[in-house]
């Protein structure tokens, strides 16, 4: 079974996925409860509006989520983030549903948060408890808008994409390496390496997952040949069970 958030980090194979795909759209998964600086947020809550609302109320901690089109559940599972911070910075505990149907609360240190990862695979995120900090609303809002602006200027946010395709390899920027390899603008079918940020593959109408996969392979080969660096795929690739894993 897979849970689809806002699809920010997902590429679905042209052959589809042969399991159950769930969306936590029910209002019970979209609740936000506030106690002082602590928020209890449902896994189906959209991150950008949540971050914007928190900024407007002078609750600081989610500004770095500007421009990340995820749900709270997806952000927890992938430990969404970037240069300005990551989701685990504010997560206190997570409510999960196990494969045996049992509901549990995991403290943040049990979640195995790392760079774009957690160990919550196999469990369904139901909600998260966040600890934010009170600050001047004008300052928090300014920071949120500033981060959003920086992202708009450096990333193809208006195009269709699955976010950054590769993880940054130790000490390097995947985008910078792909750029230096001269791959910006390279196309396969209707998929193209973004000219704005080379770690994004943007898809035009009619693009196939196989176009994106071919570009991924091409980028990895070129970067390996030029810089002896192995790029690891960051996105989640959904395919029918039994089809061999490619990429990362
Ligand atoms: N750069 C280039 N060419 C490019 C892209 C980047 O030369 O095409 C250079 C930039 O000029 C800069 C350096 O590479 O000197 C780093 O670029 P940037 O600041 O855009 O950050 P990044 O490391 O590429 C990371 C996260 C993003 C996150 C941004 C900003 C990863 C793989 N990427 O990007 O996260 O939004 O920082 O916070 O961790 C994502 O995970 O989906 C994602 C987009």
Q: How far is CA 179 from the centre of its chain?
A: 22
**Is 247 a residue whose pLDDT tops 50?**
no
Residue 38 has pLDDT above 50, yes or no: yes
Ligand 1 atom at minimum distance from 154 CA: 20
CA gyration radius for the chain?
18
Angle among Cα 79, 63, 112 to the nearest 5 degrees reads 15
Residue 133 CB: number of other CB atoms within 10 A?
11
Per-residue pLDDT, averaged over 194-207, amounts to 97
Residue of 52, 116, 192, 220 with catalytic role: 116
Distance 146 CA to ligand 1 centre (A): 16
Query: Residues lining ligand 1, judged by CB closer than 6 Å?
Result: 82-84, 151, 154, 163-164, 167-168, 173-176, 179, 197-199, 234
* Structure-block tokens of residue 57: 């109320």
| Ligand 1 pocket, mutate which of 9, 164, 222, 233 (most atoms under 8 A from CB) | 164
| 228-242 tens-digit pLDDT | 999 999 999 999 986
The DSSP annotation for the chain comes to: -EE-SS-TTEEE-TT--SS-EE---SGGGS-EEEETTEEEEETTSBHHHHHHHHHHTTEES-GGGTT---BHHHHHHHT-EETTEEGGGTEEEEEEE-TTS-EEEEEGGGTT-BTTB-S-TTSEEEEEEEE-EE--HHHHHHHHHHHHHHHHHHS-TTSEEEEESBPPPTTS-HHHHHHHTT-TT-EETTEEE-SS-TTEEEE-TT--HHHHHHHHHHHHHHHHHHH---PPB-SEEE--TTSPP---
Report the mean per-residue pLDDT for the chain.
94
Q: Which atom of ligand 1 is nearest to the CA of 196?
A: 8
Q: Whose CA is nearest to atom 22 of ligand 1?
A: 173
CA-closest residue to ligand 1 atom 26: 82
pLDDT in tens, 42-83: 999 999 999 999 999 999 999 999 999 899 999 999 999 988
Q: Residue whose CA is closest, atom 14 of ligand 1?
A: 176
pLDDT at site 248: 41
Taking residue 111's Cβ as centre, other Cβ atoms within 10 Å add up to 23
Q: Where residue 245 falls among pLDDT bands split at 50, 70, 90?
A: low
pLDDT single digits (tens) 209-226? 999 999 999 999 999 999
Cα of 177 to ligand 1 centre, how many Å? 11
The rounded Å distance from CA 173 to ligand 1 centre is: 6
Tell me the best of 175, 180, 195, 229 to mutate to test the pocket of ligand 1, counting ligand atoms within 8 Å of each CB and taking the most: 175
Indicate which residue's Cα is closest to atom 23 of ligand 1: 173
Comparing CA positions, the residue from 185, 186, 165, 154 lying closest to residue 231 is 165
23 flagged as catalytic: no
pTM of the entire structure? 0.91
Look at residue 23 in the predicted model and tell me its pLDDT.
93
Nearest by Cα to 140 from 57, 35, 34? 57
pLDDT for 74 equals 94
Q: Point out the ligand 1 atom lying closest to the alpha carbon of residue 84.
A: 38
Of 3-12, 30-39, 86-95, least confident by mean pLDDT is 3-12
Instruction: Note the pLDDT of residue 243.
Output: 54
Give the Cα separation of 178 and 141 in Å (integer): 33
Q: How confident is the model at residue 7 (pLDDT cuts 50, 70, 90)?
A: confident
């Amino acid at each position: 079974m897979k849970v689809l958030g806002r699809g920010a980090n997902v590429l679905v194979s042209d052959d589809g996925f042969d399991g159950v795909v769930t969306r936590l759209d029910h209002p019970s998964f979209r609740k936000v409860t506030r106690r002082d600086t602590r928020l209890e947020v449902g896994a189906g809550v959209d991150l950008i509006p949540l971050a914007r609302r928190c900024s407007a109320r002078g609750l600081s901690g989610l500004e770095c989520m500007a421009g990340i089109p995820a749900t709270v559940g997806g952000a927890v599972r992938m430990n969404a983030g970037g240069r300005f911070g990551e989701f685990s910075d504010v997560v206190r505990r997570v409510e999960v549903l196990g494969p045996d149907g049992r509901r549990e609360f995991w403290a943040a240190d049990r979640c195995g948060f790392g760079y774009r990862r957690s160990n919550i695979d196999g469990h369904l995120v139901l909600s998260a408890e966040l600890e934010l900090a009170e600050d001047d609303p004008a300052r928090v809002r300014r920071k949120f808008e500033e981060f959003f602006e920086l992202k708009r200027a450096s990333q193809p946010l208006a195009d269709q994409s699955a976010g950054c395709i590769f993880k940054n390899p130790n000490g390097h920027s995947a985008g910078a390496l792909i750029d230096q390899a001269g791959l910006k603008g390279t196309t396969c079918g209707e998929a193209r390496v973004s000219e704005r940020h080379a770690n994004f593959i943007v898809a035009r109408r009619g693009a196939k997952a196989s176009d994106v996969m071919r570009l991924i392979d091409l980028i990895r080969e070129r970067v390996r040949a030029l810089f002896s660096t192995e790029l690891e795929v960051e996105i989640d690739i959904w395919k029918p069970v039994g089809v061999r894993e490619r990429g990362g």
